[in-house]
Structures are given as C-alpha cells and as structure tokens.
Amino acid sequence: MSTLVVCLYRGPPLSAESPPIIGRGAVERLVTTVGIEDPEDSRVNCLLEGLRLARDLDDDTIVAVLTAKRESVSGDREIAAQVEELVAEYGPDSAVVVVDSAEDERLVPIVESRVPVDAVDRVVVRQARDIESTYYLLKQFLADEELRKTVLVPVGVALLVFPVLLAFFDSIAVSIGAIAAVVGIFLLYKGLSIDSLLADLSEGVREALYAGQISLVTYVVALGLALVGIFVGVLSSSSLDADSTGRLIAAMQFVHVSVPWLTGGALIASAGRLLDEFIRNDELGAAYINLPFVAVAVGLAVRGFTAYFLRLAEVAEPLRFPSVAVGSTNVESFTIAPGTQLAVFILASIVISLIGVRVAAFVSSAEYGSRFGEGT
C-alpha cells in the first residue's frame, strides 16, 4: 500500500525547479535552500513535517511538495494538475496532506477529489499558535457580514455619537448611559429577531389587505379599544393620590378600569379571526371557537380580583343592589361583601369557560358527524 505525503503551499516559487518537487532527497535540499534564505519562514516547518511523516510511515511512501500562485482559479488548477501528475505516475492508494495555514488548508478538497486523504496535518509554530489562531478567528469574523452588522455597526455608531453627546450634555455619565441604552436596544432588536417579526407582520398585513380578510379590520378596532382602555386606566389611576393609597392600589385601579376595554378588544379580534377561518375553510376549529369565551372569562376573573383589592383598600364603592318589589314583597337594597363579589366573578368566569369548551366540542362533533356521513 503506497501513501502520498503532500506538502501544500500557495505563494511565490520555492526554488527554480518547477513543481511538483518529488522525493525525500529533493525535499531535503529544498528545506536547506528555503531555511538559509529565511529561517523564520513557516514553510520550513511544513517541509520538515512532511519529511518526518514520510520517515514514520512505511517504506512505500512518496513525499512531494505542491505549490501554486496566490489564491486564484489558475493557482487551484495548477495544484490539480500536479496532483493528477503524481497519481498517474505513482498511483498512490491514499494521501496525507501537510499544510501550515488555514488558507492552504482550503486546497485539501482538490487533493481529496483525486486520491483518498487519510489525514490533514496542520503545522503551526508552537510560539505563534495562539497568535495565529486569534488571527484566523478575527479574519473569519470580519468575513461574516451578519456578525459585522451586529457587532461592528453599534460599536462604530457609539464611538461616533459619544463625543457629540459629551459636548451636548457635558456629562460623561449621561453620555455613557445614553449610548448603553441605544446599544442595548439594538442588541435586543437583533437578539430577539424583532426585525424578522416586523417583516413577517408587514407581509401578513399585505396579504390580509389583498385577501380582504375581516380580521384586519377587527384587529384595528381591537387596537383602538386597547388604546382607549389604557388611556382611561391612566386617567383613573392618576386621579388617585399615590402617596396616600400607594402605587400598588393605583396599578390595581388602572387594571380594573382598563380590563373591560381590553377584553372587548380581545373579543372583537378573536371574532374576526373566527369569521376568517369560517370563510376560508367553511368550518370552525375548536380553538377558534373557544377563544372568545376564554377572552371574556379571563377579563371577568381579572376584573373580580382587582375589584376585590380595591374594595379592601376602600377605594372602590361597594356593590349595592337597589330595592325591588316582587309582587307584594319588597326586597330591601343590600350590599355584597368583597369576598362574595370575588366568588361571583370567579364562578362566572369558570361557567363561561366551560360553556366555551362545550360549544367548541359540540361544533367539532357536528362537523365530524357531517364529514363521516358524507364519507359513508
């Protein structure tokens, strides 16, 4: 079994002899020539490693040095021609490739396409291993366009903006804080793939406009109701004295007032999606049917809990039923206790969610029965 030990190199010619340089004697002479001209040349280590491998392997080993010009198509073709010459002359069963850099290692597929490669031996001078590894990591980093945009762009913008902010605010702390906030927003924007989400959102809106989907209109209405709920909640909570009631009670007041509007928006949005699914598929999925009931049930539960906390804090008025006349009997007005009121809201939310599950199951079974009947 014959083995071909190949030393690959891109760059200026190593000697006046045209490549490939074949044989241990020729390679030893080449090592002496290159080493005398430049003892620090990494090619010397590559050639010596090739000779060492040829010595350690069995006697039926051919050592050769293949060289080509700098990285180019013509240089790769020169390497390919030299490999074909060696294969035609010696017919090796396998090859071991020796290189001294990551750039030369890119030539390995050329050899591998013409003779099986058992191993690749990358020679790096021991003192320079960390330096060379760092160099190639930086080189790969700079070659990656996505990494350049993610890291170098915010760093460059920060370095440009920092002197402007420093001159404007005359404060290092404020300038650094502003830059850190902007860089943090950018990293979150890229890290959470918000750009992809926005692209998908715009694509979905465009498709909805072209398809005439009802959900697009209901989403806009739902967004408007949500904004109204937030605005009303802010007005209601700002009317409270935060110093006397506390921030937690103000937050509860905000949620209590805004929940009906938010629930209405969720109900309208889910109804629009339900209509779109019915128009598109002429059938209703259980999840889409149950969604409006879930929105109402969650809204009732949140409203009940916030009302309970506000009642305990004596911020909200007690729930009072007026007196009514039932026949000849007069029922006096009465007030519901906070715990009872909370229990009523929780019970109502559970009942509505169960009704939603029941309705979804009934519609699904009816659709399944109609399909099964048509199939039979």
331, β-bridge pairs: 324
Q: Is the model more confident about 308 or about 376?
A: 308
Task: Find the angle CA(252)-CA(255)-CA(256) to the nearest 5 degrees.
Answer: 80
Mean pLDDT check: name the lowest of 76-80, 174-178, 354-358. Answer: 174-178
In the predicted model, what is the mean pLDDT of residues 290-313? 85
Please choose, from the candidates 10, 12, 16, the residue with its C-alpha nearest in 3D space to the C-alpha of residue 29.
16
pLDDT band per the 50, 70, 90 thresholds, residue 372: very low
182, β-bridge pairs: none
In the predicted model, what is the mean pLDDT of residues 295-302? 88
Question: CA of 113: how far to CAs of 10, 30, 117, 374, in Å?
Answer: 19, 27, 9, 60
Please choose, from the candidates 229, 203, 195, 217, the residue with its C-alpha nearest in 3D space to the C-alpha of residue 299.
229
Q: How many CB atoms lie within 10 A of CB 141?
A: 12
In the predicted model, what is the mean pLDDT of residues 159-184? 74
Summarize pLDDT for 195-222 with one digit per residue, the tens.
677 676 666 656 655 555 677 778 888 8
CA 214 to chain centre: 31
Highest mean pLDDT: which range of 102-111, 138-147, 166-175:
102-111
Structure token digits, residue 81? 């021609």
d(CA 336, CA 318): 7
What is the pLDDT at residue 244?
59
d(CA 105, CA 109): 9
In the predicted model, what is the mean pLDDT of residues 307-313? 83
Q: How many CB atoms lie within 10 A of CB 64?
A: 25
Mean pLDDT check: name the lowest of 143-147, 273-277, 360-364. Answer: 143-147
What is the pLDDT at residue 347?
92
Summarize pLDDT for 312-347 with one digit per residue, the tens.
877 777 777 666 666 666 666 667 787 888 888 889
* Residue boundaries of the structural domains of the chain: 3-132, 144-192, 212-375
Please choose, from the candidates 78, 77, 107, 95, the residue with its C-alpha nearest in 3D space to the C-alpha of residue 20.
78
Q: Is 247 in contact with 284 (CB distance < 8 Å)?
A: no
Average pLDDT, the chain: 77
Contact partners, residue 347, CB within 8 Å, separation at least 6 = none
324, β-bridge pairs: 331
What is the 3-state secondary structure of the chain? CCEEEEEEEECCCCCCCCCCEECHHHHHHHHHHHHHHCCCCHHHHHHHHHHHHHHHCCCCEEEEEEEECCCCHHHHHHHHHHHHHHHHHHCCCEEEEEECCHHHHCCHHHHHCCCCEEEEEECCCHHHHHHHHHHHHHHHHHHCHHHHHHHHHHHHHHHHHHHHHHHHHCCHHHHHHHHHHHHHHHHHHHHCCHHHHHHHHHHHHHHHHHHCCHHHHHHHHHHHHHHHHHHHHHHHHHCCCHHHHCHHHHHHHHHHHHHHHHHHHHHHHHHHHHHHHHHHHCCCCHHHHHHHHHHHHHHHHHHHHHHHHHHHCCCCCCCEECCEEECCEEECCEECCHHHHHHHHHHHHHHHHHHHHHHHHHHHHHHHHHHHHHHC
Summarize pLDDT for 12-52 with one digit per residue, the tens.
767 667 778 888 888 888 888 888 887 767 778 888 888 88
Q: Is 2 in contact with 61 (CB distance < 8 Å)?
A: yes
d(CA 46, CA 25): 16
